[in-house]
Each structure stands twice: as structure tokens, then as C-alpha cells.
Structure 1
Amino acid sequence: MTPDLHRSRTLVWALVVLTTIAAYALVVPLLAGGDPRLTDFAAAYQAPSSAHWFGTDSAGRDLFVRGATGLRVSLVIAAVCAAASTALGLTVGVAAGALGGGVDRIVMRLVDGINALPHLLLGIVIVALYPGNLAAIVASIALTHWTQVARIARAEVRPARSATYIEAARLAGATRTRVMITHLVPAAAGQALVAVVLLLPHAIWHESTLSFLGLGLPPDQASLGTLLQDARTTVLTGSWWTLTFPAAALVITTLTVAAAGTTLRDRITPPLPERVTR
């Protein structure tokens, strides 16, 4: 099997699984109706059955519906975080690569300084100031994951700024800002698209970790992190399903998104040995 065919099949399977996950997260809560936060303690800790496919939690809530709701919340938060982080990294990286000189050196030292900090610890510090605040959660993830995007954007822009069409645009009277927006940003746009996809698994894990630690969303708000936090104690009573299904949703989603992002990255930028032999 050729590398291109293998990547194509991987991407197709990843998209099929992601479509299924998205359909589960979007459709199930709509079909279930009602408020998934409503409790029914008489139905607590019921094992998986035809009535409750994923069983029920400590408050008698259906985990099939609550899991879909939590997955949807986590995916939306992760998508917003990935988009914000990529936009910030793209802006900084393009500016550093286009301006060069002292600006480039200062920006890269800033990137190195942020990379030296433990991202999870920095995120915990930010969220701890505003516990349960959705904006704080987004900020804590976006502000700790933009540096790699900035490096990639800078690497794409530096060779592009000396291209013939860039020189022609400058000679035609285009300002530096117009050149960056019109020519240099599109040069890094392909890698930025890949960065959004590759950042999604990181964002999902960070949101889940923060919520699991009790610093993210409030316990009554379903997300993969809050479901796992609730299962931390209930699983000790023998209710294995409260941990198994949310954990499986988290692992399958992140692995599938990572596989799709890696395949997309390889299609846009083939590995070095492959490029050399062509």
C-alpha cells in the first residue's frame, strides 16, 4: 500500500468516526428532550440495559443522553479554544516573520518563555482566579497553546517574504500591512488549518482535566471532565459504566481527531524523505 493511499484511507475512516461522534453529540440530546440535569435518585446506579444503554449515574440521570450532552459541550469549548489559539498564533507568527529583525527576536524569546512554563499549571492558575467561568476556561487553553502555531506561521512566512510576487507587490505601492494580509497570511493559512485540527485533542484534554479537578465547569454542567469527575467516586462502588463510557468517548474522540489532523498535515506537507525522493 502506497503512503498516499494509506493516508487517504486513514483520513476517510477518521472522518467517518468523527461524523458518527458529531451525530451522537448533536442528535441524541435533541431526541431525548427535557433537561439532562434533572435527577431521579430512585433510578441511580442502574447498569446498562435496553432502558438505559450507558446506565445511570449517582443522580439517576441517563448516561447515554448525558454523555452526548457532555461530549457536545467539550467539543464546542475545544473548537473555540483551538480557533482562538490558532488566530493568536497566526497573527503573532506572521508579524514576527514579516517584520524580522528585533521584532522577530523579541517575539521568539517570548514564545520560548511561554513554552518553558508548564501549560497545565498555567491553565490552572488562570482558571483558579475565575472558577466555573467559561471565558476563563477558553482563555486558559488559548493562551497556553498558541506558541507552536506562531512558530509554524513564522517558518512559512520567512521564505515567502522574499518571493518575487511579494517584491512586485511592494514595488506596486502595497503597504507592509497590506502585504501581510493579502499575501503572507494566505501563505501560512494551510498550516493554520492543520493547527486548528491538531489543537482540538489538546483542548479537549485540558478542558476535561480542569473540570475533573473541579476548576472548570460546575458539576451540574455536563462535559467529559465533569462526568469523569463524578465517576471518580462512583466507580469504587462497582458502577464501572460511569467511568467506562465517558472515558471511551474522550479517548476515541481525541485519537480520531489527532489521526485526522496528522493525516491532513502529511497531505499538505509531506514528510522530508518523501519530498527529497521526488
Structure 2
Amino acid sequence: MRPETTTPMETAAPDLIHTSAAAGRSGRRSVRIAAATLALLGLAVIVVPLVARVDERLVDLGSALLPPSPAHPFGTDEMGRDVLLRSVYGLRVSLLVGLVAAAVSVVIGGLVGVIAGAAGGIVDRLLMRVVDGVNSLPHLLLGIFIVALFAPSVWAVIISVGVTHWTTAARIVRSEVLSLRGRPYIDAAINGGSSRMRIIRRHFVPALIPHLGLAAVLMVPHAIWHETALSFLGLGLPPHLASLGNMINDGQRSLLTGAWWPSVFPGLFILIPTLAVAVLAQYWRDRTSPRWRSELNL
């Protein structure tokens, strides 16, 4: 009898399975940590302003630049204001800007993408040239130009981000619509006499909702960074409003005296939710678009 032999693939199979299982457990743990982090930050944004007994705009020069302590866990800034309280208020404003701006971008981009993909021909080419033209402009510079047309306010920043970041959603929706147009059930609906609007409403929109949701989730941290950059440059929110960008800008002067907390903690309030959203968005993409996943994670 011939001795049994094993191929390299068979020998490596248990290792691949073990690696895949370990990667799956690590991924689920990361998702749970990210979800818990966002839930905790969201709870803080809602609860802290309700229970806080101190106005975040209250100036107390006698308590300026106090280091972190039980009374002020994140310390105080150069005006004696509590950094933790102002960071929570700043995060609330940033989340508001991010969510609304992401919704505006997805609505504009979704409409443009659906029209371009469904109409085709010259309409498609014209709209895609508009998308290319907007993409060729630096978004931050274009955002600065738009914000300069208005008085500093939350809505000026939302309009700036929404108008300059819709092109990504437009490209995603257009490519998905072009893919759907070649499906047999779309041809059957056309041959059955369905109008273009009915096809868009009954077939395109349900298939596009997961992709639009993912685009909106990915847009939120990008919008937060955009708002922070505008506020850091002094072009976003008014100085009297708590903004993470304003706080980091103000904290620069304190760094020269060795006070690191007025700028480091607001920076963490930007970085941590951004990373958490990125982890959840990656998980969402893997669940809604399995073709993007590695075979080891299937």
C-alpha cells in the first residue's frame, strides 16, 4: 500500500483556519470596543450638558491653566475654563456638523449619481465632468471660500462641508446604478413597460441604501476634521462657542508654558471617535459588500 502523503495546502489548512478564527475574534472585539466608545461619547454629549452646574463659557482667571485634578479631570485652559466640559460641548457641535453635513453630501451625491447612472449618454458625461471639476479643487480652500461668504456659524460650516464633499457619494451611486442596469430583472422590468421613475424607486433605491449609509458613516469623521480645520484657522464657529478646533488653536499658546492639556485632550476627542467610526464603517462594508472581504475572513 502507498503511504499517505499530505500536500502543502492540506498542511497549511489548519493554520489558515486558526488564523481566520483569531482574526474574526479580534475584529469582533474591535467592533465592540468601537461601538462602546461611541455610545459612551454620545451619552456624555447628551448627559454632561444637562447635569453640569458650570457654564462652559465661564471665565475664572484665578483658575487658569490648572493641571488635571479630581476637580478638573482634564485641567483648565488659559481663561480658567474647564477643558473636559468644553471638550464635550465641542464634540457635540462637531457631531452635529458631521451628521448634518454627511446627510447633505449623501443627498446631493445620491441624486447626481442616480440621474447620471440612470440617464446615461450626454447627461451622464456632463454630470461626471462636473464631479471631476469639483474634485480637482482643493476641498479645504473651496470650503474656506464658501465659509467666507457667510458670517461664522454652524450652518455656514455645514453648507461648506456638504457642498464640497458630495462627489464621493455621486461616484459610488453612479457605479452601482450602472451595475444594476445590466441585471436581468431590470431588463424584465423595462420590457414589462415599467417607467424609468418606477425602476429607480422600486429597484435602484433599495439597492443603493446600504451604500449611501456607508458613505454617510464614512463622511461623518471627514466632516468633523473639516469643521475642526476651519475652526482652527478661525474661519469656522464663532470664538465664544466651544469648538474642538478653537480649543486646539487656543491651546497652542499654553504649550509654550508647558501646559499640554488644553490642546491634547480636545485632540483626543477628535481622534478617538474618528477611529471608532472607521472601525464600524469597515465592519459595515464587510457585512454589506462581501466581495470586498478577504477569503480568510469568510
- Do both proteins adopt the same fold according to a TM-score greater than 0.5, normalized to the shorter chain? yes
Farther off after superposition, 12-21 or 171-180: 171-180
Partner of residue 265, structure 1: 285
Tell whether 2:100 aligns with 1:85.
Answer: no
Q: Displacement, 1:99?
A: 0.8
Answer whether contact 2:98 2:220 (CA < 8 A) is retained.
Answer: yes
Larger radius of gyration: 2
Give the alignment partner of residue 180 of structure 1, picking from 160, 175, 200: 200
Partners of 1:203 and 1:151 in 2: CA distance: 18
Amino acid at match of 1:186: P
Stretch deviating more after TM superposition (208-217 or 143-152): 143-152
1:24 and 2:44 correspond: yes
Structure 1 match to 2:78: 58
Between stretches 256-265 and 196-205, larger displacement belongs to 256-265
Query: Which shows bigger deviation, 17-26 or 144-153?
Result: 17-26
- 1:239 — aligned with what? 259
Aligned-pair distance for 1:59?
A: 1.7
The answer on whether the counterparts of 2:286 and 2:293 sit within 8 Å (CA) in structure 1 is no
Shift in Å, 1:273: 7.1
What's the counterpart of residue 43 of structure 1? Answer: 63
Letter in 1 for 2:138: P
How far off its partner does 1:171 sit? 4.3
Residue number among 261, 275, 280 corresponding to 1:255 in the alignment = 275
**Which of 181, 201, 207 lines up with 2:221 in the alignment?**
201
Any gaps of 5 or more consecutive residues in structure 2?
Answer: 1-18
1:69 is displaced (CA, Å) by 0.8
The alignment covers a number of residue pairs equal to 278
1:173 Cα deviation (Å)?
A: 4.0
Q: What is the one-letter code of the residue matched to 1:162?
A: G
**Contact residue 29 and residue 69 of structure 1 kept, 8 A:** yes
Equivalent in 96, 101, 106 of residue 126 of structure 2: 106
- Matched letter for residue 68 of structure 1: V
Distance 1:5 1:173, change over 3 A: farther
Alpha-carbon distance, 1:274 to partner: 3.8
- Equivalent residue for 1:95, pick from 107, 112, 115: 115
Identity within the alignment, %: 47
Q: Identify which of 144, 163, 173 aligns with 1:124.
A: 144
Q: Which amino acid aligns with 1:229?
A: N
CA contact (8 A) 1:10 1:263 kept: no
Secondary structure of 1:226's aligned partner? helix
The answer for the alignment partner of 2:235 in structure 1 is 215
Shift of 1:170: 3.5
Offset, 1:163: 2.5
Distance 2:176 2:30 in 1: 26
Task: Report whether the alignment pairs 1:225 with 2:250.
Answer: no
CA RMSD of aligned residues (A): 2.1
Is the 8 Å Cα contact of residues 90 and 150 (structure 1) preserved in structure 2? yes
Is 1:138 the equivalent of 2:158?
yes
Q: Runs of 4 or more off by more than 4 Å in structure 1?
A: 3-6
Specify every segment of 5 or more residues in structure 1 that has no aligned partner in the other structure, as ranges.
none
